[in-house]
């Protein structure tokens, strides 16, 4: 095969390695690396796991020949891998770092190993860092190639890219709905605090995978009142930190006997604007973290804003203390989660919160699971009135049993410049 095809072949292998870091690399990116010797044979492979510290490049170097000297790599000091790798090639899914953080710069490790060539799928998404690692490698005389499998590499680390640029998590909106855009039967036609499944088992298993890939999952209190969900990651796959469960509850209506509360173990946070100390204390005594934020006033003339985000059914004016007092500020919630190193936030919410997130420009990717059934206009819609249509471009389509899954970026979190 020609060099371009070879680069894609080995980058695909590096991406396979990078995927092993899903669930265990956050808040760092998932990165994989393949090292070839001068004869084109695999000399070492590695991927990043946050708790093991080593970046993918260093993990691969260790696999190629044993311990690697600690950074900074002194000039003339060669690892045992160096003699084998001299003149070889490194394939890495993300631009090698050129700075010292928890570990030393990977660029120095690659240079010290005597490599001739480095192939990177994409630049680092941080605008202050992007391209610097590649420039350093070029300055040391290495051939640098950028771009093989770029789209796949960027898809893998969309959350890291969003957080790197904005210090906010990527918001992935998941909606399970019928062909006519309904998410639940008409009010009063289903028991409260029991789940109602729109999609089949295969789709629900795919949602567990989405939870595994995310750092946090968000819902509104009316979803809790209607479904009494656990919102846990039941994929059975390894992760380094628990899935953070987030509830928006402006007036603290979350039942103390809800499954979320009963299962809270440093993994449940409620954002509210309520100053009801009795309710706040009751939740905190049960292991729930309560974050009280300043209320965001409703938009004049916007009836849904004055009701708060949690109203599950358009036109529902069920009374609740504090419902008219204001809404939980969505932007501040994202800022707070970003401060905690949450890279990807999965939302599983009702129509008003779905609509508020979309119209507020806060959704980065949409994932729709569509069931082949019709429920009629009296059933609960997935969205309220959206003033300006939103178009999904470059849609990824998958089939889960009889259901279809449609996924599309609404906002690309990656910088558009290339080094």
Look at strands 365-371 and 216-220 and give their pairing. unpaired
Longest dimension (CA), the chain: 76
Closest CA to 276 of 253, 260, 256: 253
Within the chain, which residues score under 50 in pLDDT? 67, 69-78, 299-324, 419
- pLDDT, one tens digit per residue, over 164-181 is 999 999 999 999 999 999
Fold of 3-156: Cytidine Deaminase; domain 2 (3.40.140)
Alpha helices in 233-367 (DSSP H): 259-262, 277-285, 303-306, 330-339, 351-359
Write down the catalytic residue from 57, 95, 158, 310.
57
Residue 416: per-residue pLDDT: 74
158-409 in CATH: which number? 3.40.430.10
Report in angstroms the alpha-carbon separations of 212 from 63, 118, 307: 28, 31, 32
- Residue ranges, CATH 3.40.430.10, the chain: 158-409
Element (H, E) at 60: helix 56-65
The residue length of the chain stands at 419
- Residue ranges, CATH 3.40.140.10, the chain: 3-156
Closest CA to 81 of 65, 69, 70: 65
Known active-site residue 310? no
> Phi-psi bin for 361: left (phi > 0), alpha (psi -120 to 50), beta?
left
For the record, the structure tokens of 399 come out as: 């089939």
CA–CA distance, 167 with 173 (Å, rounded to integer)? 18
């Amino acid at each position: 095969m020609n060099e371009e095809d070879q680069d894609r072949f080995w980058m695909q292998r590096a991406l396979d390695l990078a995927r092993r870091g899903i669930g265990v690399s956050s808040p760092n990116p998932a990165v994989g690396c393949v090292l070839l010797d001068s004869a084109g044979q695999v000399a070492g492979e590695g991927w990043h796991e946050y708790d093991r510290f080593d970046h993918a490049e260093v993990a691969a170097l260790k696999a190629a020949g044993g311990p690697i000297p600690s950074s900074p790599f002194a000039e003339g000091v060669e690892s045992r891998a160096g003699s084998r790798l001299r003149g070889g090639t490194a394939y890495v899914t993300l631009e090698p770092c050129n700075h010292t953080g928890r570990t030393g710069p990977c660029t120095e490790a690659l240079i010290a190993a005597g490599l001739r060539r480095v192939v990177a799928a994409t630049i680092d998404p941080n605008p202050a860092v992007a391209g610097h690692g590649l420039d350093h490698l070029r300055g040391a005389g290495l051939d640098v190639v950028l771009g093989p499998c770029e789209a796949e590499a960027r898809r893998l680390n969309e959350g890291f890219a969003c957080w790197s640029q904005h210090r906010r998590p990527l918001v992935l909106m998941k909606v399970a709905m019928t062909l006519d855009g309904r998410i639940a039967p008409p009010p009063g036609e289903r028991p409260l605090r029991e789940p109602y499944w729109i999609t089949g088992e295969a789709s629900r298993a795919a949602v567990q995978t989405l939870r595994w890939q995310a750092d946090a999952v968000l819902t509104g209190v009316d979803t809790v009142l209607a479904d009494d969900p656990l919102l846990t990651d039941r994929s059975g796959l390894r992760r380094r930190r628990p899935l953070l469960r987030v509830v928006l509850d402006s007036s603290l209506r979350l039942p103390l006997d809800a499954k979320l509360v009963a299962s809270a173990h440093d993994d449940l946070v409620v954002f509210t604007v309520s100053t009801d100390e009795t309710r706040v204390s009751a939740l905190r005594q049960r292991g729930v973290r309560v974050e009280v934020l300043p209320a965001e006033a409703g938009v004049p003339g916007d009836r849904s804003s004055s009701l708060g985000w949690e109203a599950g059914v358009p036109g529902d004016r069920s009374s609740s203390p504090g419902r008219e007092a204001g809404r939980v500020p969505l932007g501040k919630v994202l800022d707070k989660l970003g401060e905690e190193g949450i890279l990807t936030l999965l939302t599983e919410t009702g129509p008003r919160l779905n609509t508020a997130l979309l119209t507020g420009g806060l959704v980065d990717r949409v994932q729709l699971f569509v069931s082949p059934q019709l429920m009629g206009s009296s059933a609960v819609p997935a969205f309220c009135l959206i003033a300006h249509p939103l178009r999904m471009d470059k849609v990824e389509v998958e089939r889960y049993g009889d259901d279809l899954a449609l996924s599309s970026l609404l906002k690309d979190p990656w910088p558009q410049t290339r080094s």
